[in-house]
Amino acid sequence: MFGYRVPAPDEAMLISGGRYGLKDAPFRVVTGHGSFVMPFFRKTRYLTLSMQEAEVGETCVTKQGISLNVRAVIAFKVGNDPESIVNAGQRFLSDQDQMSVLTGRIFAGHLRSIIGSMTVEEIVTERQKLATEVLEGSKAEMATIGLTVDSLQIQSIDDMGAGYIAAMAAPNNAAIQRQAKIAQAQADQAAAEAQQDSARKQAEYARQTAVVQAQYKAEIDKAQAEASQAGPLAQAEAQRAVISAQAELAQRQADLRQQQLVSEVVRPAEAEAEKVQVLAKAEAERTRIAAEAAASNNRVALDQMLIQQLPQIVKEAAAGLAGANVSVLNGADGLGEIAAGLVGQGLTILESVRKSVANSASNGDSPNGTASLNDGRPPSA
């Protein structure tokens, strides 16, 4: 958008050309968001807020008069508050590289001042104390120019070949070397003792091995002797086991053969016998049923024949009464009674003949039973 400006995340946008909130501020500070800048009437510049680095390498004289070459690194940046940005912008906006140069000079001065109040031993053994005092001494000056220090690291301290630091370290080096020699001697002694202990353990191991081997050989000899003595017995035992196994096998084979015979001979024979019995019973039952059917048929035929002869029997009986001197007292009723009596007599004769024929059939006589009826005359009453 025309006239709208947005600073980078690590930048402060400085807009000049008007009045602003801070007293005597020559420009407006914008960070973290954009702002509309009126063209031709306002001017926009940018001040970096990123981390900066300054190196210091300074020759300093200690409290003892010993010169030391001290090297340090300072990490700093422009403060985040508007006042610090205004102070830094007024001093470094046109040449922002000057921030590192000025910071190095400020810390070099404070470093010389602090080291001048300390001994070499304090400087060497208490570097953190040295860094803290330098930071505290430079804080006010850095705030004035709008800068804040994140850290100060003392990289090296050198006595430039004077040998003071080396001499100072000599007792410690000697003590360290002495301790190292003592530790080496203790290590050698421990190694010798370890070797002796290892040799002793090896000798003990060899002795125990020899004892075990002797015991093992004695056991082997004893086992071989027992084996040589127990050879015939073991062979006999093996033969007995073989015979027992063979007997068991023969018994199993016999049982199997018996099962085969039962399956192949006995079972089929029993089945055949049962079949014959069943067939015989069936044939007898068939014969009985046929005989009963024949007898039933003969009786039916006999009954039919007797029924056919019944009129003839009645006629013959009536003819016999024709020559008899019979008086009929009650007229037609009397004649009816006589006729009924003749029919009843005929039926009686017919039933007698049926029973006679049935008895003859049961006694084995001719089944038709018609011989006494062929002459056409009824039997005598």
pTM of the model: 0.43
**The pLDDT value given to residue 245:** 80
For 51-165, CATH gives: 3.30.479.30
73 has which bridge partners? 55, 153
Contact residues for 146 (Cβ-Cβ < 8 A; gap 6+)? 78, 79, 83, 84, 85, 86, 87, 88, 89, 91
Beta strands in 125-276 (DSSP E): 147-158
The SS3 call for residue 240 is helix
54 has which bridge partners? 74
**The pLDDT value given to residue 98:** 93
**The pLDDT value given to residue 323:** 53
**The pLDDT value given to residue 263:** 78
**The pLDDT value given to residue 212:** 87
Q: Where are the domains of the chain?
A: 51-165, 300-322+330-373
Report CA dihedral (268, 274, 275, 280) to the nearest 10 degrees. Answer: 150
**The pLDDT value given to residue 328:** 47
10-residue mean pLDDT series, the chain (381 residues): 82 80 73 83 89 92 91 93 91 92 92 91 89 91 93 89 82 81 89 89 89 87 76 71 82 83 79 81 82 70 68 65 51 57 67 67 50 44 40
**The pLDDT value given to residue 334:** 56
**The pLDDT value given to residue 100:** 93
Whether 63 contacts 119, CB under 8 Å? yes
The SS3 call for residue 24 is coil
Whether 316 contacts 295, CB under 8 Å? no
**The pLDDT value given to residue 370:** 44
Beta strands in the chain (DSSP E): 4-5, 11-16, 27-30, 35-36, 43-48, 52-61, 67-78, 147-158
**The pLDDT value given to residue 377:** 46
**The pLDDT value given to residue 70:** 92
